[in-house]
Amino acid sequence: MINENLELQKKIKEGINLIENNNFLEAERIFDKFLKNNETETTGLFFLGIISIKKKENFKAKELFIKILSINEFHLEANFNLALVYFGENNYDEALKYFDISIKINDKHLPSYYHKGLIYMFRNNYDDAIKYFDICNNIDEKFIPTSLNLGNIYLRRNEFKKSIHYYQKILNLTSDKTYLNLAKFNIAWNQLAECNFDEGFKNYEVRKEKPLVRKQVNELIEKYSCKEWQGENLDNKTIIILSEQGLGDNIQFFRYLFWLKDKFNANIIFHINKKQSHLFKDTPFNIVSNLDKIKHVDYFILIMSLPGVYFNQNQSFPKFVKYIKPNKEINLIWKDRLQKFKKPVIALNWQGDRSFMFDRTRSIALSNFKNILNLKKYAFISLQKGFGSEQIKSNNFENHIVDLSNEIDNGDKTFEDTISILKNVECLITSDTSIAHLAGTLNVKTYLLLSFNPEWRWFIEKKYKVFYPNINIIQQDKPGDWVTVFEKMENIINQ
């Protein structure tokens, strides 16, 4: 019997190693044999279920776990992994059912409490999410994901000091750089939203630890033996400004290059993706998309580091600069077309980059625009490209919105049509996307619809109005409340 158990454990270990190395076929051959013996059947079914999850064969995984439960309804790992499959499918009601069963089997089962907390957090039910994350803390106060998500929740609720407390706890719990950098970045978000600029900008520098950023910087240093600029005199020097993060970030903070120009007699280079480079061409800077022709560089800095250097020296923010200009020919085309509506035209944009971590709170379902779209004194056009534009049809808004998604910005220059459209509309109504920054820089009248907890820059804008003179912010009064936002928006454009 002992020898049989040892052989069984050896086979299980061999199968697990194969799974970990993604050798699913060989692992399946091992665990298929387990099905032939009543005593090992549930073990075989379980690991075949795990393999199915790894292969993204969710239907098969569910079948296998459910078969285990028909044999033993109190099988903890079968219940939990079945819940995980439903969780991964966003079928949260079914997931909660099996997480609850797992907790009944083991009332200290931290992973089940944790995933219940995640579900309530995703549903914006923050009170219940906090309840389950607190239980996780009571079971294991060193479980870092709990502190991370409690920090996230309090950040979402604009309770910045509580949020910082949990991120700070992570700094004291681990030496794992991934967690450390994420916690520091989120601490910076909180501090900047509180307008604690000295500490906020200092901690915001942690984003330079991202692997792709480090790689880019290291290659630059190796090629030019240049130093990171931290405020030194740039007279008769060459500095390269590196674009980073999203296009909206680069559009917004490009204004800092004009500060450098006014302050120093320097050669200022801006490195940006070729498709986006035309946005910055009508400026007194050297705009490049590759470094092949650049022979010498003294200093470099990431564009999102410029606000911190500026604030350290000036304790303020630089003036607004309107530097983007429409193409004259394209502008005439859209001016002529939009005039044919014979009424004021409002441009709409509602969906941002869905890969962004907090896109589910930042982007807006088009259905929320229903009452506004019924206003007959305006014509409405969509600037939405790609994902999100399908909502026009799914909401039966084809007769209310002119869908331009297949007509605009199809060339090799980002926003080449959108720029001219924005210059010829009554106003723009948008969620927090790069188009908001584009319209703001063009000085187009814009209504920016924001979640209860938008990104830190908008807290600064609401308090000090330092970024865009023609952007009007309408923000949620509580998390998830778009109804009130659109009531305010409707009242404004009805006036």
Task: Reply yes or no on whether the pLDDT at 459 is more than 70.
Answer: yes
User: H or E element: which one contains 85?
Assistant: helix 76-88
Tell me what pLDDT residue 8 has: 80
Tell me what pLDDT residue 38 has: 86
297: phi > 0 → left, psi -120 to 50 → alpha, else beta; which? beta
- Confidence band of 4 (pLDDT split at 50, 70, 90): low
CA distance 159 to 153: 9
**Which of 238-264 are b and which e, b meaning 16 or more Cβ less than 10 Å from the residue's Cβ?**
bbbbbbbeebbbbbbbbbbbbbbeeeb
- Confidence band of 1 (pLDDT split at 50, 70, 90): very low
Task: Reply yes or no on whether the pLDDT at 41 is more than 80.
Answer: yes
Determine how β-strand 345-349 pairs with β-strand 471-475: unpaired
Q: Please tell me what DSSP assigns to residue 86.
A: H
CA distance 71 to 352: 47
CA distance 135 to 137: 5
- Confidence band of 5 (pLDDT split at 50, 70, 90): confident
CA distance 145 to 178: 12
Q: Please tell me what DSSP assigns to residue 303.
A: G
For 288-301, the DSSP string reads ES-STT----SEEE
pLDDT digits (tens, 9 = 90+) for 101-155: 999 999 999 999 999 999 999 998 999 999 999 999 999 999 999 999 999 999 9
Task: Reply yes or no on whether the pLDDT at 225 is more than 70.
Answer: yes
CA distance 61 to 79: 12
